[in-house]
Amino acid sequence: MRRIYRKIEQIVGNVITVVAGEVSYGELATITTPEGSSLAQVIRLDGDRVSLQVLAGTKGISTNAEIRFLGHSMQTPFSKSLLGRIFTGSGEPRDKRPAITENLIDIGGPSVNPVKRVTPGNMIPTGIPMIDVFNTLVESQKLPIFSVAGEPYNSLLARIAMQAKVDIIILGGMGLKHDDYLFFRDVLEKNGALTRSILFIHTAADPTVECILVPDLCLAVAEQFALQGKRVLVLLTDMTNFADSIKEIANTMEQIPSNRGYPGDLYSQLACRYEKAAAFEGAGSITILAVTTMPGDDVTHPIPDNTGYITEGQFYLRNGRIEPFGSLSRLKQHVNNRTREDHRSIMDSMIQLYALYKESFEKQSMGFRISAWDKKLLRYGERFEHEMMDLNVNISLDQALDLGWYILADCFQPAETGITTKLIEKFWPDNTRMSIA
Amino acid sequence: MGCKCGSIESANCHCGRIVGINGNMLTVEFFDSVKQNEIAYAILDDIHLKAEVVRTRGRYADLQILEEPKGLKVGGHVDFTGELMAVELGPGLLTQIFDGLQNPLPGLAKQCGFFLKRGMYLDALSRDKEWEFTPAVKKGDTLSAGDTLGTVPEGIFVHRIMVPFSLKGRYSVERIATHGSYRVSEIIAELQDMKGFLIKVSMVQKWPVKIPLNCYHERLMPTDTLMTKIRMVDTFFPVARGGTFCIPGPFGAGKTVLQQMISKNAEVDIVVVAACGERAGEVAGTLREFPELIDPRTGKSLMERTVIICNTSSMPVAAREASIYTAVTLAEYYRQMGLHVLLLVDSTSRWAQALREVSGRLEEIPGDEAFPAYLESVIAAFYERAAIVKLRDGTVGSVTIGGTVSPAGGNFDEPVTQATLKVVGAFLGLSRERSNARRYPAIHPLESWSKYWSIIKSEDLKLAQKILKDGNDIAQMMKVVGEEGTSIDDFVMYLKSEYLDAVYMQQNAFHAVDGAVSAERQRYIFNKIVKTFGTKMAFHSKDEARTFFQILIQKTKDWNYMAMESDEFQKIEAELDKMIGEVAKNAQNIPEN
Ligand SMILES: Nc1ncnc2c1ncn2[C@@H]1O[C@H](COP(=O)(O)OP(=O)(O)O)[C@@H](O)[C@H]1O
Ligand SMILES: [Mg+2]
């Protein structure tokens, strides 16, 4: 069977077309030019015309480049020796150490049977009150961090990586600035966490479509570790680059765009990746935190919009803080009924009061007369922002809840908080003096 | 004589050859004839991958493949079955969880472990389980499609074994099985048509999912309120048995939680849940929760009245389209037994997107947001399958359909929401503002509507609606003129609307008592609130008014959390009466502002 071809019929965008036989859908090929070689994936078959998406881009590819079909779809090695290693977006070593070739596994495998999913029950404490108290992160959860360019999302991601109690961290960089790549590597190294980490890094300097494989590589490896009983945290940054690569290919293939140039299957494409987050009965779990920068700070843009419909909540990062409004962990109710009995009430009423504070703040800035109630709210809001929302606060959940009561008692009468009498009787601080470590 | 496809030695081969693959669309050259929407299998080594014919042109058929197409090749063999996509109907559907093609997922898990495996198709109904059959007819009786031959107990229900729905005309019973235990595939009756042709009937039959099942006498008008036990729905935006409703809302606004609440508490016999293109984790949650929850109406676990059809977001997209039809066909089947069935779909937008993907690959002329031009008629036809019907034996059954809609960007002005609003009887629109303010369920009180009857008297309802509207107007105005520019009367009106919102419209989904409120209790509380609003109130200052309402809200919320039979319920009620009494007394001393 002939597997090598040297005649490219068409090059459009990052897609090439060759005439070839016996090629299967999804198969991988290598394209070799004098400058080097790239992987390419079969994305359409039409009679004997085969269209391939070239991962390193088609720049400089000549019509007589060598195309060799590999007879399988994309694979990655999997073994413990991946730990501590750094790879490129196409799975080549980036750390100048030897390539790993053992135990190849397919990427983009089938989905988990829904009946085999375990209801998530373990909180992942992060030490960040805006997460632990208000939007608890739960093992097996998939959560994006919606952010605009310039926000410290990568430092937040790094901090969660350091503080979260998990076994293995897999970092997937897509279009990552080289500085940010070094930042992650150094932070992990400095905290001695690199040895439990695996990095697949596609940087902004690499060909753009090459980032398309990064989530699948990360998640295939994560899945294997999870099946071996490990709790894996997958950090992806930035999924917007991934989605844009999908758009680019779809446009090249002349698919009819559905919304602002994005293809109609953007939702399904993203879901295939995010749904890999799971907890396995009798084994480990995969949790995904994925930065999604919002073009133009617009959450209705197709990328954040589709993402929000898929993920189990979202964190909005704005002005260096996790916004209480809009941010949401949908799995929190699986765990916050087993933390402390006042957890849910504190969570609800502090947010409701903060919303009222916002209104009072508005009034104040519009120059309206401020009532006694507004004054209370203004005082409360300021303290809340300062003592709870600041991302540098690093305290345990218990401490954070105590702090919540302390702030409430300091600002309000019990009835003003809307908390049930039962909890007030139990938790309302007697006097407003309380020590917070 | 060999087959033209060359790969099978068969005289009347019904097959084809793949000539193109584009995503989940196969182009297949066929040699004999094909039917629109017939099922075919693309063969990849020893794996058979299900596909459905969606278009034919000349010798070529376009097939949407219902599985991941990876590995298929041009030249690959395709077998056509000649049958439309159909489901198996018979005892044993309840408590099950199927994928969109009616594969039992627990069965798949047993065979394949953690992951789904493409090309694995199992019987929807167990072939081993025995059912205790009691005949309902005797030899010589004349029957037609949908008439009952006998019954088997299925959990808490009497499951009717019926004359196959596909039979036309009248039949006489030649033989009927005696009382005893039978497997679904055993012959339990022989029927003879008017020409003397004999038909063997078992307890399982097939029905093509895209064709509505309507072996009933007549369709009735949906008038009875379907109690969901959600105050805001039953009181303000009710749903009727046999009617339709939709729940559009941006992500995170609470569509799924609202549907889950309804699936738990709705006063119907059977609930069919279609998890369509959304999160698998949510289905897994339901799966674990339902067997543990007791249905107060039957004393049995909720699972006994539930069927789940599950084609979540990472499962094959084309099968997602099928899943909706699978679900509604199962619902219609149980309606045929004189039962009230509720079908909940989450989310119909994912189904519409599946249609869009197919349409795009077929290169049809796109409409708005690239949805196909026929989107509206497809949505309308789907909701039309909801109905309350009188069966030929006089019993009444219903299918009520409620679907969530996930509009792009949360903007209701998009094709799927708009097409849905044209055909449904109730619109429960969720608002981002309300969900951000944690005012759950976040149904927008002013934008939502229902064409069905509320459980509350309409003049009381109008009063409440007026208070909401006035309160909202005043709140808008206060944003401009501030509190000081608002009269105390207006301010009190605003507080009243906030009170109604806090203690009646908001409801804690996760609370044992507050999570499900009976019609009786809704009426009781509503009357109390109406009475409160009828009481003349006057306050010295806005702060005094605000404090009064804050305490009133807290007490009423406490009240909501108490079982109606409990002493605390009465105690808090007395306290509420006292508060209202006092403020009414004060009103006589304070001059009108
Ligand atoms: N009735 C409710 N009571 C309390 N919390 C709710 C309620 N409805 C929704 N929520 C919160 O909002 C989150 C998102 O709700 P969900 O129904 O999943 O949204 P959607 O399906 O619209 O995307 C839930 O995980 C929960 O935290
Ligand atoms: Mg949902």
The domain that holds B577 is classified in CATH as 1.10.1140.10
pLDDT in tens, A31-75: 998 888 889 999 999 999 999 999 888 888 999 999 999 999 999
**pLDDT value at residue A393:** 85
Residues A247 and A396 in one domain: no
pLDDT in tens, B317-331: 889 999 999 999 999
**pLDDT value at residue B6:** 55
* Domain enclosing residue A12, as ranges: 4-73
Residues A115, B19: C-beta atoms closer than 8 Å: no
Residues A388 and A326 in one domain: no
Residues A24 and A173 in one domain: no
**Average pLDDT of the residues in B196-216:** 95
Q: Which of A334, A368, A402 is the last residue of a domain?
A: A334
**pLDDT value at residue B591:** 62
Question: Is residue B121 assigned to a domain?
Answer: no
Distance of CA A108 to the CA centre of its chain: 17
Q: Is the pLDDT of residue B378 over 70?
A: yes
Residues B306 and B419 in one domain: yes
**Average pLDDT of the residues in B436-456:** 93
Question: Is residue A434 assigned to a domain?
Answer: no
Sole residue written with tokens 């019509």:
A63
**Average pLDDT of the residues in A3-15:** 92
Sole residue written with tokens 């929760």:
B289
* Domain enclosing residue B386, as ranges: 93-102+222-450
Question: Is residue B113 assigned to a domain?
Answer: no
The pTM assigned to this predicted structure is 0.92
> To test ligand 1's pocket by mutation, which of B257, B289, B431, B443 has the most ligand atoms within 8 angstroms of CB?
B257
pLDDT in tens, B130-151: 999 999 999 999 999 999 999 9
Q: At B422, which CATH number? A: 3.40.50.300
Question: Is residue B117 assigned to a domain?
Answer: no
Which residues neighbour ligand 2 (ion) by CB within 5 Å? B 255-256
Question: Is residue A435 assigned to a domain?
Answer: no
Whether B572 contacts chain A with CB within 8 A: no
Nearest residue CA, atom 8 of ligand 1? B254
Residues B433 and B466 in one domain: no
Q: Is the pLDDT of residue A436 over 80?
A: no
Whether B372 contacts chain A with CB within 8 A: no
Whether A79 contacts chain B with CB within 8 A: no
Return the HEC string of B331-368. HHHHHCCCCEEEEEEECHHHHHHHHHHHHHHCCCCECH
Residue A303's closest chain B neighbor by CA? B409
Q: Flag the least confident range among A87-91, A95-99, B160-164, B292-296.
A: B292-296
Question: Is residue B251 assigned to a domain?
Answer: yes
Q: Is the pLDDT of residue B593 over 50?
A: no
Whether A81 contacts chain B with CB within 8 A: no
Question: Is residue B119 assigned to a domain?
Answer: no
Domain count, chain B: 4
Report residue B66 as tokens.
Answer: 């219902």
Question: Is residue B261 assigned to a domain?
Answer: yes
Q: Which atom of ligand 1 has the smallest separation from the CA of B282?
A: 18
Residue A315 pairs in a beta bridge with: A145
Whether A71 contacts chain B with CB within 8 A: no
Residues B403 and B490 in one domain: no
Q: At A97, which CATH number? A: 3.40.50.12240
Alpha carbon distances (Å) from B140 to B133, B169, B492: 19, 16, 75
B480 pLDDT tier (thresholds 50, 70, 90): confident
Residues B163 and B134 in one domain: yes
**Average pLDDT of the residues in A268-284:** 94
Q: How far is the CA of B278 from the centre of ligand 2 (A)?
A: 7
Residues A25 and A67 in one domain: yes
Residues A302 and A198 in one domain: yes
**pLDDT value at residue A159:** 87
Sole residue written with tokens 């105005």:
B477
Report residue B528 as tokens.
Answer: 């109390």
Domain count, chain A: 3
Q: Which of A73, A101, A116 is the last residue of a domain?
A: A73
Q: Is the pLDDT of residue A134 over 90?
A: yes
Residues B558 and B424 in one domain: no
> Can you tell me the distance from the alpha carbon of A432 to that of B10, in angstroms, rounded to the nearest whole number?
89
> Can you tell me the distance from the alpha carbon of B236 to that of A174, in angstroms, rounded to the nearest whole number?
48
Q: At B22, which CATH number? A: 2.40.10.170
**pLDDT value at residue A210:** 86
ipTM at complex level: 0.90
pLDDT in tens, B227-246: 999 999 999 999 999 999 99
Residues B554 and B470 in one domain: yes
Q: How far is the CA of B257 from the centre of ligand 2 (A)?
A: 7
Q: Which chain B residues are Cβ-neighbours of A48 within 8 angstroms? A: 74
Amino acid at A200: F
Question: Is residue A436 assigned to a domain?
Answer: no
Question: Is residue A432 assigned to a domain?
Answer: no
Q: Which residues line ligand 1 (CB under 6 A)?
A: A 328, 330, 333; B 249, 251-257, 440-441, 509
**pLDDT value at residue A2:** 65
Report residue B426 as tokens.
Answer: 């109730």
Instruction: Point out the residue among A109, A113, A258 whose CB comes nearest to the CB of B370.
Output: A258
Q: At A13, which CATH number? A: 2.40.10.170
**More confident of the two residues A161 and A425:** A425
Q: What percent of chain B has pLDDT over 70?
A: 97
Q: What percent of chain A has pLDDT over 70?
A: 98
**pLDDT value at residue B588:** 77
Residues B464 and B577 in one domain: yes
Whether A76 contacts chain B with CB within 8 A: no
Residues B502 and B387 in one domain: no
Question: Is residue A423 assigned to a domain?
Answer: yes
Residues A240 and A377 in one domain: no
Residues B246 and B298 in one domain: yes
Residues A150 and A168 in one domain: yes
**More confident of the two residues B4 and B423:** B423
Instruction: Point out the residue among A113, A268, A363 whose CB comes nearest to the CB of B116.
Output: A113
Residues B558, A118: C-beta atoms closer than 8 Å: no
Q: Which chain A residues are Cβ-neighbours of B310 within 8 angstroms? A: 114
**pLDDT value at residue B1:** 38
